[in-house]
Amino acid sequence: MEYLLKGLVILIVAILCLALLLVGGLNIAKFPIYSEYYSMEETLCTNPGLDDGFVCQGICVSEENGVILVSGYMADKSHSRIYVTDFESNSYFVELTRNGGEKYTGHAGGIALTGDTVYISNGSKLYVFSLTDVLNAKNGEKVDIGEGVKVSSAASFVYADEEYVYVGEFNNPAEEQKEHIYGENHSIIEKYSHDDLENPVKIYSIGDYAQGVCFTPDGKVILSTSYGLTSTVYYVYNEADATDTGEMLDGAPVYMLGECVREVNGPAMGEDLDYYNGKVITLTESASNKYIFGKLFFANDIVALDFGK
């Protein structure tokens, strides 16, 4: 029995050593594998809530207030949250309700803001509420996001600039397909004026696995796409190259994005995008307690990607 126990201990130690060697090797290998990504990456701050059961989804920056908002859901189905963090990684969270107090447990797949207006996208709805309410709340307090505005897409993610808000959807070709079929595409991004969220002014047809979008001031459209353990792929297009399909949806013309001008591979489980200080900021859900493996690869930061490099 003594020899058996010793042998078991040796086996366990050997397995742990091999696991450590494997993880260490992969941490070294990720830099050449994703060399272009890491050459353009800059850490902004720690991604909040990763050890709280929170699964991050959306991200946006309030430059005026010097904070980043991160939206997402809780693995235990408690209230979905928004974490507010500054660039020194000081953070707190608010729990979300809707319709004047009803518990909200939605995916909170995307978050965007312009001025004092915050948007959260989820379940074919765009929720609109006040940034002031979020910033004035104390840690753990409730913030109501309203009843939401129905949109035509699944509202998986959202992006906003000073003029427009863009609401898009994720499509998994292995599951039930979205209904917006144009050519080989099954997903759309709807473009709305901030003062009219019922009538889109333009529709973009996009491909599968989209997790976030960013329309940059220099006319680029950047899509983040990811699913499971595969690499996140960032596709870059020139917005001016989008072509009119001649079709209409909800009174708005449908456009196809032109040829992809750049493709960058990055670590798995990349999520939403926003534009800040000339760069695209993003985050990954892989280091949340739900998935864990990202902790082994130090994927616990909010980062800025410089697509000008």
Contact 302, 44 (CB under 8 A): yes
Cα separation, 97 vs 82, in Å, equals 11
Asked if residue 7 has pLDDT above 50, the reply is no
Q: How confident is the model at residue 141 (pLDDT cuts 50, 70, 90)?
A: very high
Tens digit of each residue's pLDDT (9 = 90 or more) over 19-45: 443 334 444 455 678 999 999 999 999
pLDDT score at 174: 87
**In the numeric block, which tokens belong to residue 122?**
């989820």
State the distance between the two ends of the chain, measured CA to CA, in whole angstroms.
Answer: 62
Contact 48, 85 (CB under 8 A): yes
Q: CA gyration radius for the chain?
A: 21
Rounded to the nearest 10 degrees, how much is the dihedral formed by the CA atoms of 75, 80, 86, 88? -20
% of the chain beyond a pLDDT of 70: 90
Least confident of 19-33, 67-81, 293-307: 19-33
% of the chain beyond a pLDDT of 90: 83
pLDDT score at 6: 54
Asked if residue 8 has pLDDT above 70, the reply is no
Contact 95, 102 (CB under 8 A): no
Tens digit of each residue's pLDDT (9 = 90 or more) over 75-125: 999 999 999 999 999 999 999 999 999 999 999 999 999 999 999 999 999
Q: How confident is the model at residue 4 (pLDDT cuts 50, 70, 90)?
A: low
